[in-house]
Structure 1
Amino acid sequence: MFSRLSQITRHLSAASPIRTPKRPAFSNASGVARSIMASADDRNSRTIHTAACLIIGDEVLGGKTVDTNSSYLAKWCFSLGINLRRVEVIEDVESEIIEAVRRLSDRYDFVVTSGGIGPTHDDITYESIAKAFNLPLVLHEQALERMKRLSKPRPSQPPFDWDTDSPALRARLRMVIFPTDKTRDLDKQFIFPHDDLWVPVNVVNGNVHILPGVPRLFERLLDGLKPVILPRLTDPDGKGLIRVLVSTPLSESAAADFLTQLAAKVEPHGVKVGSYPRWQQNGIVTLVGRNQEYIESIVPELIEGVHGRRVTVEGEDDVPPEEEAKPSSD
């Protein structure tokens, strides 16, 4: 069986990685120049300040599927104090994936991709990311053994034999052939967060984490990464960011001058001011940062400046719409 599987996997991984051309250095969100030539091990160990999310799938762009994974990642990052700086949605097109994943890997500390790792013809994420970083596609034996052990066939599926070459076998094997840097520690490239899931998180170029697009799997695998990520955070306790919400009856234009001055005042303290109008309801102003004591100290000033009041959730003080006048009965 091993020899047959080896022949099949050699055929499936025959796509030739392309050479990565030399590219200029980018700057990170803090304005610090970062070399494109930084090693994967360096990317895999440095402190995580910033993150980016790459959603891959024609079905999202075509309106067939609503993306919830980027929203889940945004909340996950916020809870850990990671600044999610970019979310992109792109087609299942090799050149698009290659360009986007290279750029995001260069610019951000922690990158997550979602989608395109299934068994069908348009699932090309693994192949494209392999080409992006000039890596071979290699069968991962541990993932294959876990797949055999944990996969449960549905009653409606035709009989399947792991020892017989078939389209179904080839489709399954495509999902355990990953971009692999044979010069690096495999444990840093493949993380199995849960014992009951065969699919690993494939970490490429030290900071690109390839996740499935199925929301339930995406969420479980992302949550499973937390113990790996925590030691690399600015705050290893994972306390995350703090957000204060203030409801205001003022329009954005009426509050703009005050908020502009407040934002300039608090920026040196690492606090951001956000303003979010809402249709026919009070708007929301937010203070976001890490220094809870400082944030609390400026809340009274914010409340006074926007004639508002502090709320725990958006919409807490919404006024129900008036009932439409009922037609007269006479």
Structure 2
Amino acid sequence: MGAFEARLAAAMAAVERGWPVFPLRPLGKVPALKDWDRRATLDRDRVEAWWRHRPYNIGISCRAAGLLVVDLDQGVPHGRDVLAELARRHGAEDPVDTYTVFTPSGGEHRYFRAPEIPLRNTVGKLGRHVDTRSAGGYVAAAGSIRHMTSGLRLYKVVRDVEPAPAPAWLVRLLSPPPPPPPPTASAVPAPRRVRAYRAAALDGEAHRVRTALPGTRANALFTAACRLGELVGAGWLDEQDAAATLLDAAARHNGVEGWTEREARHHVANGLATGRRNPRVIPDRAVPEPRAPEAGRVDW
């Protein structure tokens, strides 16, 4: 089976499960089209038209599919050990009996049925090497292929069962806090200005990362993640969009003088977490000039 046919078959397999799909860039995990969450579909004709065009990887809209996906990354400790310990602390069993996909980087995705309440996407909030994807997030589906430093690697199903309901203790940890009091009208920038500010911030920080030289890359990536994390903390930017933009920009360094995707993910997670603690106020009239992180706050 050729690359086009294999990826099309994988996309159709997700559709069979009732999971709306959309194309990711070939051999990558960045959406290949705008408004991916709105355009994710179960329409077989549309899916076939997309995947007959190019051997795209397969994205699943977690919101549309009603999924919470827990991303357990390889590392020390491995994300699956962190999740098991977290479950133990809450008096529960390790939630292993659910649909599970091994990822090209040595991690795994555990799929759960999401509750009615929208859950947040997180990077490292539950613990080291544990991320989550739910409403507003997406995941690369089984059958997708990544180009890693060790070669081509497949997202592979290793536990082919129906997704279990999300554990109650996990739902509690991921449920959003009560909304803050609404700001005064004068404190809220116009939506168009917010979009322009956000786009400029994403482009600027991605450029910072892409053009960083060996020896400066870790600091450049951490700093960029801090600055975007400030927008995430303020509610102006989706955390997964920020992480995906930075990791895509950092991918050009993979394999160059020892740089790895694992290192990039580490700095992105730390930077976003640091920035979230310092939400940024977007002035009503401003060109993005994000603040640098405070001295002594680099924690890798």
TM-score range, shorter chain: under 0.3
Greater radius of gyration (CA): 1
- Give the TM-score normalised by the residue count of structure 2: 0.25
- Give the TM-score normalised by the residue count of structure 1: 0.23
| Higher relative contact order, chain-length normalized (CA < 8 Å, sep 6+) | 1
